[in-house]
Structure 1
Amino acid sequence: MKKVSTKITAFILIAILISACNAVKRVPDGKHLLTKNEILVNNKKTSEENVFNQLYQKPNSKLLGYRLRLNLYNLANLNPDSTYQAKFTNNPKKYDHMSKWLSAKQVDRLGKSFWYKGIHDFLKSTGEPPVIIDNAKTDKSILRLRYYYFNNGFFNVKATYKVDSLKAKKAKINYVITTGEPYFLDSLNTTISTPILDSLYAIEKNNSFIKSGKQYKTEDFENEKNRITTHFRNNGVYFFQPNYVNFDIDTIKKINKANVNLIINNYSYQERDSSKTEPFKMYRISDVNIYTDYSASTANEKFTDSATYNNFNLFSHKKLKYKPKAITNAVFITKGGLYADYKTVLTTRYLNNLKIFNYPSVQYEVDKRDSTASSLIAKVYLTPRKKYSFGASFDVTHSNIQDIGISFSPSLSIRNVFNGAETLEISGRTNIGSSKDLANPNNQFFNVSEYGLDFKLNIPRIFMPFRTEKIIPKSMIPSTLIAVGFATQKNIGLDKENFTGAFTYNWTPKRYYTARFDLFNIQFVRNLNPQNYFNVYSSSYRALNSLGKEYNTDPSYFNNNVDKDLIIEKGTAGFTNDVLSGNANFLKPITAENFQTIKSIEERRLRLTENDFILATSFTFSKTTKKDLADKGFYLFKTKIESAGTLLSLFAKTTNQDKNSNGNYDIFNLEYSEYIKTEFDYIKHWDLTKEKIFAIRSFFGIAIPFGNSDNIPFSRSYFSGGSNDNRAWQPYSLGPGSSGATNDFNEANLKIALSAEYRFKILGSLKGALFADAGNIWNVLDNVEDEKSSFTSLSDLKEIALGSGFGFRYDLSFFVIRFDFGFKTYNPSSEIGKRWFREYNFGNSVLNFGINYPF
């Protein structure tokens, strides 16, 4: 039956495709469907994308060589209303008959329904009308091709085209271009009327885009105009604009060479009914006036409060609410300094970053007090936001733990808390979710919950008892974040309380660079239900239970004499203690291998149920070339180094603290974690145009325990698998190494991950992707002794797993919904010789749901 239904489905799909395969169905007689553009440049075919972008007409898009959107369009009825009415025009009795069962109004509305009209509107909007060759547009393409090559130095370019009919109503266009020899720049001269500008130009002359010997390109001349304008305006020439830069290009009596003369005339302006010309001036700032409570409604009212601080003048219609230093620190325009565009940009960026004002406005006016008319008054207009603002967010989420989560987060923001432009944010969070991975004896759907409260104080400067201006200047927009939080959660069955605190410095060394230094990052994790361990980690229980049946002689450890399952917690704890202490009788001698298994189970139980105290210091640095959300070709590099417990151990040693029975130091009767951790993350996107993107990601992370620890806390360890990792495996189900993911939540302290993804457009906002993910996790330099789980040499790299697959993305503008099908391509946990493509089928595939792109 299953095979029959599959054949019927396949037949229907084939029938639909065949019915739509008449690509010229909507091409009028005497017209041709454009099937291909071919461009020959100097008798050679070119595939250069910039050249093809000059064409006004391009063939209908294809998906895997098939014109899907064209054929969808051809399936549509272009006039469904007329077709529906024609049914009754040709057969009036049919209308009367339908009206007896339905009202006349309902019959008319039926013609607007999805099946009669909506489906055809969908096919038209999703599809693509045939691209019919238009000679007028082809002529425009020829003109654009000539301009393109002319702008690249080919002044004698010739371009023609020919329409080549292929078959009925189909044709391609052959473009033939003869470029001739390119022109190169020869001598370069300047004619700059204003002596000051001449001197300024000479300072950065070597950075010019116009150089002798370069091939002529119009783009270079535009870039040079902008470079000169930027240079002048950043050095006091306030009234300079790009239109003052002109070029005289002389090719007379030259063979493929051009002389260039850069011309910059004096400043011209309109005064009443006459035009005047005078040399450009360099302007200095005579005053910086800051209006701290500007609004259009009070613009003409008098100021009742003012202050002067470090040559800045602050004005307020009401009582001044800000410490002058907090505001002036954000202003880079200085009294007596030259006017500079970049200072205006920095000022607006910094002031906006304070988050206590709406976007600021900076304006300049000529100071009439200066008889030389070469001074400017800078006016900074600030419109305060409300001191208190309430917010709330409601989210539906998906994560590696939760299959689905519903969260509600109310927040209160208090601005200018201490009159120093600080912002205090108090936020709560409530989250309930569902996870199939958890111990869930009552079979509840919502079996995950979290409640928390956070306080965050943002200070718009480096908060230290000494000045840091020379190390981190204010141009880097530094800030300090002080945060504390508490959360109680029921997530993986152990139920936790989580106390956090952080003292963090953030700054931007350069544009597109960010730096973060966590002076202190404190986390205390308290497990509320450690006795539930074996209910959650069922694989550990099954392994221990099978050994209990094999060796245990104490009947009080079993649930009954028939099943002989170890009772949780009495039986599991009792049997483990008996084995490790050696103070009990067993059914038979315990082998060394089984003893080690029981020891490993107990060590993992202790590690995952013990309370953790982490006091870490870390530094994070990132660089990106991404300019904005529309930038599709960029890279991101991020690295982090973190040290935990080092300060506590240093303090314990210098104060001669006693160690506990395990030979470790305690704080608050709790062994703290000590380790060093480093990570490297690199993401690169290539924009292949036509909404095609190729992206890669590489990640390496390692955390090494030492001193007070011989393992890494669960919250700081690595896992593999999931919608943002290796998509052929479920979260926590890959690794470590070739062990085969024997535990319920597999983690380790070394991780390597590599991913590549090709993204392309399918229909409208629906995108597709092909991907390959490689990577694994291992234990290294910790207390894990299992060779299959450990990384001991470079030969262990053969345990890198490979997953591949395909996916769909639907772009909703503000976020992307993602579905990925991952297939195990190379599984290192399988026997050697059976690792490649043994599970490459839908039965063993993993469906991943995610929000936004994986990287």
Structure 2
Amino acid sequence: MKNKITKIALILLSVLLLYSCSLVKRVPDSRHLLEENTITVNGEEKKEEALQEQLYQQPNTSILGYHLRLHLYNLAKKDADSSYQAWLARNPQRHENLRKLLSEKQVQRLGESFIVAGLSNFLKKVGEPPVLVDPVRVRKSANRLLSYYYKRGYFRTKVGYRVDTLGVKKAQVNYTVETGKPYVVDSIATYIESPVLDTLYQKIKDESLIKSGKQYNETDFTGERERIANYFLNRGVYRFEPNYISYIVDTVNTGYKANVDLIIDNETVRRGDSTFTRPFKIFKVSQVNIYTQNAADPNGTIDSTTYNGFRIFSNGKLNYRPKALTDPVFITPGSTFSDFRRVLTYRYINNLRVFYYPNINYVVDSTDTEGSSLIANIYLKPRDNFKLLYGIDLTHSNIQDMGIQGSTGLSIRNLFRGAEILDLTLRGNIGSSRDPAISDRSFFNILEYGADAKLSIPRIFFPLKTDNIIRKEMLPASLLSLGISRQKNIGLDKESFTGVLNYNWIPKRNRTARLDLFNIQYIRNVNPDNYFFVYNSSYDRLNDIANTYTEQLDPTYYSVDSDGDVRLNIEEGTRAFITGVDGGDITTTAQDRREVRSIEERRRRLTENNLISATNFTYTTTTQDNLNDSEFFIFKTKLETAGNTLSLISSLTEKNNRSTSGNRTFLDVEYSQYVKGELDFIKHFDLTHKRVLAMRAFFGLAVPYGNSDNIPFTRSYFAGGSNDNRAWQSYSLGPGSSGSVNDFNEANLKMLYSAELRFNLLGQLNGAIFGDVGNIWNVFDNQDQPEYIFNGLSSFRDLAFGSGFGFRYDLNFFVVRFDIGFKTYNPGRPVNDRWFKEYNFAHAVYNVGINYPF
């Protein structure tokens, strides 16, 4: 036993030695590989990322301690072309033979080709050269640490460093920082030359970022300069710039106190070769001119008009209603100059999508003898009134593994001379799905096509005036859309009609609101008789029950397979058996009768036509400024109600407006009635070095009432799939602990929590480790099976847990994603047999997606 332990220890020691030697393969004899940086501040080691970022050199990247990219770089030949030349020189005849076969020029190019140098060049590109300790950069890093603390008020900071060798060709750099006592802001004096600026400053001085008794921090001084400058620019001070503001900080013999002088200079004016200063003054906008042109007649006679004090000029006949041009403009005649109004005008005009990026400039009004008036000139270049629309996209959804979507159409701008846009499009989609419910196993087994008409209106389209509620600073817009489509995928096929009137606006920065006043959807199942061909699990359950009562079955409704089992004919046999059991003509046990009724209820629900007339409101808050942000959160809330308008209309019509089931109808179709609420929270944490921890929490509940005792299939919740719990396929998880007996499992309550750690592997290739927790349940509806229903805290044991890993390749314009999920805790299994029973590649779920799941 001792010999075995000794051998194992020797093997491990050998492996570690080889690993250590391979790391320094490309390190010159006189140099050292940077293994680690340590920063000790006042005797305490600090690992804050802000401090590490001050250092000019960081150790080679690693994954769980393994320097993958450094190893790849070391695998490459140091100089592949030189090795090739040496190979030729060793055998002159070889060189001669190649020259005869090719040419001397081609022989030389061969050394640069992929055959000779391609692999080495690739390894160098995706790999990472060793980071060698550089004394010059170490000194620069120490100076940056000194500057870092100096800017935070530690004016007597001392920084030292030491390089310690760690074995063969490796070293560690240790930085030591002694900060001393920080300086604190004491007195604050202001020297403002322009009386106008002094008056304005007195109104905001109490909100200053620089406060007496607060530790000195250069960030406060920079922020205060920007705050004052923005306030002045938005209160009429034209041409003011932050560089007119300066500080003098006195720390000489003050006892760790900093006395601050805030200085705001007069305006500097240059005329010819001379310059002089003068006090700033408040400017007002005396005139606003809007210049545009008629795209059909850009060189025509100037057409001009006046509207609400604005002067509008057009080359050729004015092709816009004056209100459409003045509504997006926040710079108004008679108003005080404000730079923020210019920014808002840019944003609003840009959102119209009718003009190119506008040009806005100011000139001093020469007719004002006091020289305190401005003329604002706004130049608008219209886009073409007609534009052909076309596009092709790769698509992905929880059912569709991969799809190709194409569209073509026409965009008509300024349709009613109010900057409206009408988009008419035809679209089609072919896709591939591995879903077992789709009997067609060819690669492209999903087909959808349709047409859409969308009218965008750059204001709130409503009979009543809404300006006092949704101000134009919120960039309001309305969208009226109509669409029809036909879908062929799971055998039932669907035809749908949608009509939407929604409003969008931005209440505050980084907040958006959307109100769907009308969201109407009518779905017609084209082939309802195909139900049992599509939903195989429902057919198998029904057929198993039928095999128990074969003596009561009419032989014309079934056939017998080679194993002697009864196979009900679809649709005649299945319908006859269900009708017989429900009517009592076929005698069964109470349990089997309940099961057959449940199967029939689900069949009716999934094959009936749906009419949904909903109103919903969505409010989103985010701190994400752009797509490159790696630390942010998104919080979205949504409330939806359906059927109330149709219920009111139905109650006012004739009494013969009910279906055979007793539910009210509209145009002979039962309408859905429910209320639905959702909370969706996404948070990203930047762990630095291209590592991000991303999390998502979701809760959704839909409650039927009135005309409905369940939620329409298209508005219910499902679990599983590439954007959900990735250890289960779409619709294959839940409800509750039912074991997912149906082909498409859905419910009206959903909980989900997902987290994944994302990190860089090689170049554009990233990796991820993830965990997903969640499930769906039935609640407040017509489901009565206990394992399907949410029963309070006890149902939390039915939360499914999936874990796994994945890869993402960033193509800049989108990300290709591949995830492998493992069922870690499966609530569909017996209570004591749920953990890690299917944690293997045989039961793994492979997900391919476009972009990140959250």
TM-score, normalization by structure 1: 0.95
Q: 1:236 touches 1:338 (CA, 8 Å); kept in 2?
A: yes
Match of 1:749 in 2: 748
Q: 1:187 touches 1:212 (CA, 8 Å); kept in 2?
A: yes
1-structure distance, mates of 2:189, 2:654: 77
Q: Which amino acid aligns with 2:332?
A: T
What percent of counterpart residues are identical? Answer: 53
Superposed displacement of residue 169, structure 1? 1.9
| Other structure's SS at 1:112 match | coil
Match of 2:567 in 1: 565
Match of 1:5 in 2: none
2-structure distance, mates of 1:436, 1:34: 49
User: Cα deviation per residue 1:424-481 (whole Å; 9 max; x = unaligned)?
Assistant: 0011111122323265656543221111000000000011122111011111111111
Match of 1:167 in 2: 167
Structure 2 residue corresponding to 1:432, chosen from 430, 444, 460: 430
Q: Which amino acid aligns with 1:155?
A: F
| Other structure's SS at 1:638 match | strand
Q: 2:679 touches 2:700 (CA, 8 Å); kept in 1?
A: yes
2-structure distance, mates of 1:414, 1:21: 68
Match of 1:357 in 2: 355
Superposed displacement of residue 107, structure 1? 5.2
Matched, 1:392 2:390: yes
Matched, 1:829 2:823: no
Q: 1:486 touches 1:497 (CA, 8 Å); kept in 2?
A: yes
Match of 2:764 in 1: 765
Superposed displacement of residue 22, structure 1? 2.0
Match of 2:313 in 1: 315
Match of 1:8 in 2: none
Match of 2:4 in 1: none
The change in CA–CA distance for 1:611 and 1:213 in structure 2 (over 3 A counts) is: same
Match of 1:727 in 2: 726
Matched, 1:627 2:625: yes
| Other structure's SS at 1:223 match | helix
User: Cα deviation per residue 1:551-598 (whole Å; 9 max; x = unaligned)?
Assistant: 14211111348542101000011111111011x2x4xx4111110110
| Other structure's SS at 1:571 match | helix
Q: 2:153 touches 2:183 (CA, 8 Å); kept in 1?
A: yes
Match of 2:806 in 1: 807
| Other structure's SS at 2:651 match | helix
User: Cα deviation per residue 1:788-810 (whole Å; 9 max; x = unaligned)?
Assistant: 11112221111011111111111
2-structure distance, mates of 1:21, 1:816: 37
2-structure distance, mates of 1:342, 1:747: 49
Q: 2:638 touches 2:677 (CA, 8 Å); kept in 1?
A: yes
Superposed displacement of residue 635, structure 1? 0.6
The change in CA–CA distance for 1:20 and 1:303 in structure 2 (over 3 A counts) is: farther
Q: 2:804 touches 2:820 (CA, 8 Å); kept in 1?
A: yes
The change in CA–CA distance for 1:338 and 1:662 in structure 2 (over 3 A counts) is: same
2-structure distance, mates of 1:612, 1:21: 69
Q: 1:294 touches 1:381 (CA, 8 Å); kept in 2?
A: no
The change in CA–CA distance for 1:45 and 1:439 in structure 2 (over 3 A counts) is: closer
| Other structure's SS at 2:214 match | coil
1-structure distance, mates of 2:756, 2:411: 40
Match of 1:232 in 2: 232
Q: 1:20 touches 1:71 (CA, 8 Å); kept in 2?
A: no
Deviates more, 1:128-137 or 1:89-98: 89-98
Superposed displacement of residue 492, structure 1? 1.8
Matched, 1:737 2:736: yes
2-structure distance, mates of 1:136, 1:530: 77
Match of 1:487 in 2: 485
Match of 2:7 in 1: none
Superposed displacement of residue 724, structure 1? 0.3
Q: Which amino acid aligns with 2:350?
A: N
Match of 2:3 in 1: none
| Other structure's SS at 2:139 match | helix
Q: Which amino acid aligns with 1:214?
A: K
Superposed displacement of residue 729, structure 1? 0.5
Q: 2:503 touches 2:514 (CA, 8 Å); kept in 1?
A: yes
RMSD: 2.1
Match of 2:815 in 1: 816
Q: Which amino acid aligns with 1:117?
A: A
Q: 1:434 touches 1:446 (CA, 8 Å); kept in 2?
A: yes
Q: Which amino acid aligns with 1:795?
A: S
Superposed displacement of residue 261, structure 1? 1.3
Q: Which amino acid aligns with 1:447?
A: N
| Other structure's SS at 1:232 match | helix
Matched, 1:84 2:84: yes
1-structure distance, mates of 2:488, 2:805: 34
Q: 1:184 touches 1:256 (CA, 8 Å); kept in 2?
A: yes
Gaps of 5+ in 2: 1-10
User: Cα deviation per residue 1:96-126 (whole Å; 9 max; x = unaligned)?
Assistant: 4556777767655543343420110011111
Matched, 1:412 2:410: yes
User: Cα deviation per residue 1:620-675 (whole Å; 9 max; x = unaligned)?
Assistant: 11111101112111110111111110111123334564434322111111111111
Corresponding pairs, count? 836
Match of 1:545 in 2: 543
Deviates more, 1:652-661 or 1:193-202: 652-661
Superposed displacement of residue 21, structure 1? 4.6
| Other structure's SS at 2:87 match | helix
| Other structure's SS at 2:559 match | coil
Q: Which amino acid aligns with 1:849?
A: V
1-structure distance, mates of 2:712, 2:727: 26
| Other structure's SS at 2:142 match | helix
Match of 1:474 in 2: 472
Q: 2:300 touches 2:317 (CA, 8 Å); kept in 1?
A: no
The change in CA–CA distance for 1:577 and 1:103 in structure 2 (over 3 A counts) is: farther
Deviates more, 1:835-844 or 1:516-525: 835-844
2-structure distance, mates of 1:101, 1:477: 71
TM-score, normalization by structure 2: 0.95
Q: Which amino acid aligns with 1:179?
A: T
2-structure distance, mates of 1:218, 1:623: 31
| Other structure's SS at 1:688 match | strand
Match of 1:447 in 2: 445
1:321-720 matches, cutoff 5 A: 321-437=319-435, 443-552=441-550, 553-560=553-560, 562-582=564-584, 584=585, 586=586, 589-655=587-653, 657-658=655-656, 659-720=658-719
User: Cα deviation per residue 1:17-49 (whole Å; 9 max; x = unaligned)?
Assistant: 958952222222222221111111111111111
1-structure distance, mates of 2:55, 2:380: 48
| Other structure's SS at 2:568 match | coil
| Other structure's SS at 2:22 match | coil
User: Cα deviation per residue 1:287-316 (whole Å; 9 max; x = unaligned)?
Assistant: 111112399x98xx8961011111111111
1-structure distance, mates of 2:21, 2:786: 59
Match of 1:137 in 2: 137
| Other structure's SS at 1:532 match | helix
1-structure distance, mates of 2:65, 2:34: 15
Deviates more, 1:357-366 or 1:724-733: 357-366
1-structure distance, mates of 2:139, 2:188: 36
1-structure distance, mates of 2:367, 2:393: 58
1-structure distance, mates of 2:126, 2:732: 40
Deviates more, 1:613-622 or 1:396-405: 396-405
| Other structure's SS at 2:165 match | strand
The change in CA–CA distance for 1:80 and 1:369 in structure 2 (over 3 A counts) is: same
Match of 2:8 in 1: none
1-structure distance, mates of 2:432, 2:540: 24
Matched, 1:26 2:26: yes
Gaps of 5+ in 1: 1-10
| Other structure's SS at 1:833 match | coil
Q: Which amino acid aligns with 1:769?
A: A
The change in CA–CA distance for 1:447 and 1:129 in structure 2 (over 3 A counts) is: closer
Q: Which amino acid aligns with 1:234?
A: N
Superposed displacement of residue 58, structure 1? 1.5
Match of 1:845 in 2: 844
| Other structure's SS at 1:814 match | coil
Q: Which amino acid aligns with 2:623?
A: T
Q: 2:439 touches 2:534 (CA, 8 Å); kept in 1?
A: no
The change in CA–CA distance for 1:652 and 1:533 in structure 2 (over 3 A counts) is: same
2-structure distance, mates of 1:377, 1:17: 77
Q: Which amino acid aligns with 1:768?
A: G
Q: Which amino acid aligns with 2:580?
A: D
2-structure distance, mates of 1:565, 1:381: 76
Q: Which amino acid aligns with 1:848?
A: N
1-structure distance, mates of 2:581, 2:17: 69
